[in-house]
Amino acid sequence: MIHIAALLKAKLLIVDDQAAKVLLLERLLRSAGYSDISSTQNPTEVVGLHRQNRYDLILLDLNMPQMDGFQVMEGLQGIGPEGTLPVLVITAQPNEKLRALKLGALDFISKPFDIAEVLARVQNLLQVRLLNLETQKLYEQVLIEQDLSERLLHKVLPQAIAERLKGRSKLTADHLNQAIVDSYANVTVLFADIVGFTAFSQVVSPEVMVDVLNDIFTRFDLIAEQWGLEKIKTIGDCYMAAAGLPVEVPDHADRAAHMSLDMLVAIQDFNASSQHPLNIRIGMSTGAAVAGVIGKSKFLYDLWGDVVNTASRMESHGTAGRIHMSDATRQALTQPFSFEHCGVIEVKGKGAMSTWFLNRRALN
């Protein structure tokens, strides 16, 4: 229910070619407490006045020279999103009432009008109209907040996973809290670590440290988007991404290789414009994995499996400024690249492994 004080602040317009009727209605409404009242005896002005002032209610006489009330209502069509016209028609002809309602008028007052009827109809119409407008604003606010929530959800989770979570919104809480877990036969996982970042963070302010991380990781985000990799997470100064999930693709290893090469270029570009030159070490591996969203709060899309551990070892056993990858990734590549065999090395937790450096894209 709209409070009476809000109703009395409504913007009203009286339209009648007879000055005496305009004056009578205006005095009647002011005596009831309405203060924002305008009037015109020229019906051709109504559309322009409403477009400029957006009245809450227009008391409109139907029988006027130059332009009758029906023509005025036709001109008012399309002003504002409300659908119905904020018009209370005044007429002495019963057959005109139905036509006025079909054109969008809210209600009518019969001539000669009764004072109590005028005040009652004005108050009732304003009550309904202002309540509808308030409801519309609340609905629009809900839509804005829903859109923001969906955009945030898509920022946090892969689009395919976000859509699956949204699809659960109509289910029970038990369904909503069920984990989303998918298995993948082959994905390529990439880890990139900023070399010497711990020492760097000790000689700069926290603000500079965060700005540098944000700059570098934003560059990596753009590269991931370009090559179709899914950023999994950042852990301190380590960046993790994967190709081939949540939507499976056959060229996941190629995509990861292209991204890793572009990441080396990105760090060079960063150094060219930064007072704090840095380097990165990249590791990659290919294999089976399980990915999904678990838990009941602070949803995070994550990845599990031996391939994750192996990719992390490729990074930690690698060399600054180079891309170190497992033999599984080399074998999964389908596009021409230039490699350098590292031989068989001892990898912590994995034992002896044949690994490779990815040098560059090779020409056909």
The single residue of 16, 237, 251, 254 carrying the catalytic annotation is: 237
Q: What is the largest CA-CA distance in the chain?
A: 104
Six token digits for residue 254: 């190629």
The single residue of 194, 232, 282, 323 carrying the catalytic annotation is: 194
The single residue of 16, 193, 251, 254 carrying the catalytic annotation is: 193
* Active site annotation includes 180: no
* Active site annotation includes 193: yes
Strands (E), the chain: 12-15, 37-40, 57-61, 87-91, 107-110, 180-195, 230-235, 238-243, 279-293, 301-304, 323-326, 337-347, 351-361
Is the peptide bond preceding residue 206 cis, with omega within 30 degrees of 0? no
Six token digits for residue 263: 């990441």
* Active site annotation includes 237: yes
Six token digits for residue 240: 């993790």
Six token digits for residue 221: 């985000």
The contacts of residue 207 (CB under 8 Å, 6+ apart) are: none
| 301 burial level (CB within 10 Å; 0-12, 13-18, 19+) | buried
Residues assigned a catalytic role: 193-194, 237
